[in-house]
Amino acid sequence: MIRHATIQRTAEIVMVLGIIALCQPWNLFLHRYGLTIIIVGLLTFMITGWVGPRQKPQATGAPEKEGHA
């Protein structure tokens, strides 16, 4: 399974690449789809932030073990 932080970092990179693609004047294909690239990165970032990493369940009433086990 891919880690949550890795997916978020990839989404951030995709958004930055979309901004670069939108601002560059040499390639019409990249300029045309720059906003789409930004939106894909943004949606990926939002979904991974909404879903979040899996958290292990913790016992609320049990005291923590101290010393040697």
**10-residue block means of pLDDT along the chain (69 residues)?**
88 96 93 95 93 69 65
* Token representation of residue 17: 């690449």
**Is residue 38 domain-resident?**
yes
The domain in which residue 41 lies consists of 4-49
pLDDT at 5: 87
pLDDT at 18: 96
How far CA 30 is from CA of 6, 23, 34, 54, 69, in Å, comes to 25, 9, 6, 36, 60
**Is residue 20 domain-resident?**
yes
pLDDT at 49: 85
The residue assigned the tokens 């292990």 is 56
The count of domains in the chain is 1
On whether the CB atoms of residues 44 and 7 are closer than 8 A, the answer is yes
Overall pTM surpassing 0.75 (yes/no)? no
pLDDT at 38: 97
